[in-house]
A and B are shown apart, each in its own frame.
Chain A
Amino acid sequence: MSESTVQIALVLPDLLGTYGDFGNAVVLDKRMKWRGISSEIVTVNFGEPVPETCDIYVVGGGEDTAQTLAVRHLREHPGLQRAVTRGATVLGVCAGIQIFGESFTRADEITHPGLGLIDSTSHAGGSRAIGEVLAKPAHGLFDGVLTGFENHQGRTVLGPAARPLAHVTVGTGNDGKNEGAVQGKIVCTYLHGPVLPRNPALADMLIEWATGRKVEPLELPAVTQMRAERLKAAGQRAEV
Chain B
Amino acid sequence: MSSKLSQKMGLGAGGMIGGRVALKLDPQALRRLASGKHVALVTGTNGKTTSTMMLARAVGALGEVATNHSGANMPDGHVTALSKQPDAPYAVLEVDEGYFPAVAVAAQPSVAVLLNLSRDQLDRVGEVRTIERSLRDVISGLQNCTVIANCDDVMVTSAAKDARRVVWVATGTGWHQDSASCPRCGEPIRWQGEHWTCTHCDLARPKPDWVTSNGHLIAPNASKVELKLRLPGVFNQANAVMATAAATKLGVPIEEAVRRLRGVSNVAGRYRSIIRSGRAARLLLSKNPAGWSETLTVVKEAEHPAVLVINANEADGRDLSWLWDVPFERLRGRRVVASGERATDLAVRLTYAEVEHTIVPDPMKAIDSLPIGPVEVIANYTAFRDLNARAADE
Q: State the A residues within 8 Å of B (CB).
A: 12-15, 17-23, 26-27, 30, 45-47, 63, 65-66, 68-69, 130-131, 149, 151, 192-194, 197, 220, 222-223, 225-226, 229
Query: A18, A30, A225: which has the most chain B beta carbons within 10 Å?
Result: A18
Chain A proximity of B205: nearest CB distance (Å):
17
- B125 on interface, CB distance cutoff 8 Å: no
Contact A17 B325 (CB under 8 A): yes
CB-CB under 8 A for A151 and B351, given A15-B181, A66-B181, A225-B344:
no
Nearest chain A CB to B229 CB, angstrom units: 32
Interface hits, B334-387 → A, CB 8 Å: 344-345, 347-354, 359
Q: Once the chains bind, are B320 and A193 in contact (CB under 8 Å)?
A: yes
A32–B190 Cα gap in the complex (Å)?
33
* Chain B residues whose CB sits within 8 angstroms of the CB of A220 once the complex forms: 348, 351
Q: Which residues of B contact A27 (CB under 8 A)?
A: 352
Most buried by A among B123, B320, B347, B348: B348
A46 & B188 in contact (Cβ 8 Å cutoff): yes
Cβ of B267 within 8 Å of any chain A Cβ, yes or no, is: no
B20 to chain A, nearest CB (A): 27
Q: A220 to B347, alpha carbons, bound, how many Å?
A: 10
Smallest CB separation, B348 vs chain A (Å): 5
Tell me, rounded to whole Å, the shortest Cβ–Cβ distance linking B24 to chain A: 29
Q: Identify 17 residue pairs between A and B in the complex whose beta-carbon atoms are under 8 Å apart, listed by A's number.
A: A13-B177, A14-B180, A15-B180, A15-B181, A17-B177, A26-B353, A45-B180, A46-B181, A65-B181, A130-B123, A193-B321, A220-B351, A222-B351, A223-B348, A223-B351, A226-B344, A229-B344
Are the CB atoms of B319 and A149 closer together than 8 Å?
yes
Whole-angstrom distance between the Cβ of B323 and the nearest chain A Cβ: 6
* Interface-central residue, B321, B323, B354, by most chain A CB under 10 Å: B321
Closest chain-B Cβ to A106's Cβ sits at a distance in Å of 14
7 residue pairs, one from A and one from B, having the closest CB atoms: A23-B324, A14-B180, A20-B324, A47-B188, A20-B321, A222-B347, A19-B321
The yes or no answer to B278 lying at the interface (CB within 8 A) is no
Give the chain B neighbours of A13 by CB distance below 8 A: 177
Bound complex: CA A45 to CA B347 (Å): 29
Report the Cα distance A69→B324, complex, angstroms: 23
- What residue of chain B has the Cβ atom nearest to residue A151's Cβ? B123
Residue count of chain B within 8 Å CB distance of chain A: 32
Interface residues of B (CB under 8 A from A): 119, 122-123, 127, 129, 176-177, 180-181, 186, 188, 190, 199, 318-325, 344-345, 347-354, 359
Name B329's closest neighbour in chain A (CB-CB). Answer: A26
Q: Are A222 and B321 in contact (CB under 8 A)?
A: no
Q: Known contacts A20-B322, A45-B180, A193-B320; can you find 17 more A-B pairs with CB under 8 A?
A: A14-B180, A15-B180, A19-B122, A19-B321, A26-B324, A26-B353, A30-B354, A46-B181, A47-B188, A130-B123, A130-B318, A149-B318, A151-B122, A194-B321, A194-B324, A197-B352, A226-B347
Q: Which residue of B lies closest to A25 (CB)?
A: B324
A193 and B319 in contact (CB under 8 A), knowing A151-B123, A226-B344? yes
Q: Which residues of A contact B190 (CB under 8 A)?
A: 47
Residues of A within 8 A of B349 (CB): 23, 197
A20 touches B323 (CB 8 A): yes
Residue of B nearest to A23 (CB): B324
Contacts of B319 on A, CB cut-off 8 Å?
Answer: 19, 149, 151, 192-193
Closest CB of chain B to A115's CB: distance in Å?
Answer: 19
Do A69 and B351 touch (CB < 8 A)? no
A192 surroundings in chain B (CB, below 8 A)? 319, 321
Min C-beta distance of B142 to chain A, whole Å = 26
Which residue of chain B is the closest to A70 with respect to CB atoms?
Answer: B181
Distance to closest chain A CB from B139 (angstroms): 21
Inter-subunit contact B127/A222 (CB<8 Å): no
What are the residues of chain A within 8 A of B352 when measuring CB–CB? 23, 26-27, 30, 197
Measured between beta carbons, the chain A residues less than 8 angstroms from B176 are 14
Closest Cβ of chain A to B184, distance in Å, is 12
Tell which of A20, A45, A46, A68 touches B325, judged by Cβ atoms closer than 8 Å.
Answer: A20
In the complex, what distance in Å separates the CA atom of A46 from the CA atom of B318?
29
Of chain B, the residue at the smallest CB distance from A228 is B344
| A-side contacts of B325, CB under 8 Å | 17, 20, 22
What is the minimal beta-carbon distance from B168 to any residue of chain A, in angstroms? 24
Q: Which residues of the partner chain B approach A222 to less than 8 Å between Cβ atoms?
A: 344, 347-348, 350-351, 359
Q: Using Cβ atoms and an 8 Å threshold, which residues of chain A touch B199?
A: 47
Residues of B within 8 A of A149 (CB): 318-321
A219 to B352, CA, bound (A): 13
**Chain A hits for B347, CB < 8 A:** 222, 225-226
With A27-B352, A223-B348 already in contact, the answer to whether A65 and B321 are too (CB < 8 A) is: no
Residue numbers in A under 8 Å from B348 (CB-CB):
197, 220, 222-223, 226
Provide the residues of chain B in CB contact with A69, threshold 8 Å: 181, 186
Q: Is the Cβ of B177 less than 8 Å from the Cβ of A14? A: yes
Q: In the complex, what distance in Å separates the CA atom of A26 from the CA atom of B325?
A: 11
Q: Report how far A27 CA is from B123 CA in the complex, Å.
A: 24
User: Closest approach, in angstroms, between the C-beta of B136 and any C-beta of chain A?
Assistant: 15
Chain B residues with CB under 8 Å of A63's CB are 127, 129
Query: B296 to nearest A CB, angstroms?
Result: 16
Residues of B within 8 A of A66 (CB): 181
A231-B354 Cα distance, complex, nearest whole Å: 25
CB distance from A74 to the nearest CB of B (A): 14
Partner of B119, one of A18, A26, A47: A18
| Most chain B CB inside 10 Å of its own CB: which residue of A23, A26, A27, A220 | A23
Q: State in angstroms the CA–CA spacing of A17 and B325 once bound together.
A: 8
Q: How many Å lie between the Cα of A226 and that of B352 in the bound state?
A: 14
A65 pairs with B122, CB closer than 8 A = no
Residues of B within 8 A of A22 (CB): 324-325
